[in-house]
Chains A and B, each alone.
Chain A
Amino acid sequence: EVRLVESGGVVAQPGGSLRLSCVASGFTFDDYAMQWVRQAPGKGPEWVSIITWDGGSTYYADSVKGRFTISRDNSKNTLYLQMNSLRHEDTALYYCARAGGTYFFYYMDVWGRGTTVTVSS
């Protein structure tokens, strides 16, 4: 069974940092680009970041550029999102998603259950 399991979501203070993790199983992790997508309460999904299969290329939404860093460890089948300089508007459910499609024409074909990040003082 293909699975993505996120962890690391907590209540953090504005300006703080945290790291999210996503462990993949049931497929060959390093065959796929991987993404982070977030969803604020009552809102539609918002794409956050993507990383290629080898970690060689990364892209970010303007809203997180310079503050968040996506990375992966293919030996551990794990995707990460380092989140720095947190803002109230970063409060959301963060999903890890596998990239379906080809060469950046990507949709999200498998999603995890998400991990909740709350930024509050």
Chain B
Amino acid sequence: EIVMTQSPATLSVSPGERATVSCRASQSVRSYLAWYQQKPGQAPRLLIYDASTRATGIPARFTGRGSGTQFTLTISSLQSEDFAVYFCQQYNNWPPYTFGQGTKLE
């Protein structure tokens, strides 16, 4: 099973600032990595798939990069609605598909 490790667990940022969340895989997942955003009381929402492709309707301020074992999600200028928990998920080696433990932007 591939273990996904996110850092940091919590990121304190201000609106307008840039935020970067990291995700590391225990072995290569090539570019088969997705990012999700989850707000309190809501289901996760797909942001990025294939490591760098934005899902439909996702603003350009969200950028995914990386391949192999190291990935990042960058939000270029934080808006108030971006304060949420972010998860990465690998889908190269399955089953199981595995998620990171999450990074909270506060």
Expressed in whole angstroms, the Cα–Cα distance for A27 and B96 within the complex equals 26
Main secondary structure of the interface of A (DSSP, over half): strand
Interface size class of chain B, counting residues whose CB lies under 8 Å from the partner chain: 20 to 34
| Contacts A44-B87, A107-B34 given; does A95 touch B43 at CB 8 Å | yes
Total A residues in contact with B, Cβ cutoff 8 Å: 25
Interface residues of B (CB under 8 A from A): 32, 34, 36, 42-46, 49, 55, 87, 89, 91-92, 94-102
27 contacts between A and B (CB under 8 A): A35-B97, A43-B101, A44-B87, A44-B101, A45-B44, A45-B99, A46-B99, A47-B96, A47-B98, A50-B95, A50-B97, A59-B94, A60-B95, A61-B96, A95-B44, A101-B32, A104-B94, A106-B97, A107-B34, A107-B46, A107-B89, A107-B97, A108-B34, A110-B46, A111-B43, A111-B45, A111-B46
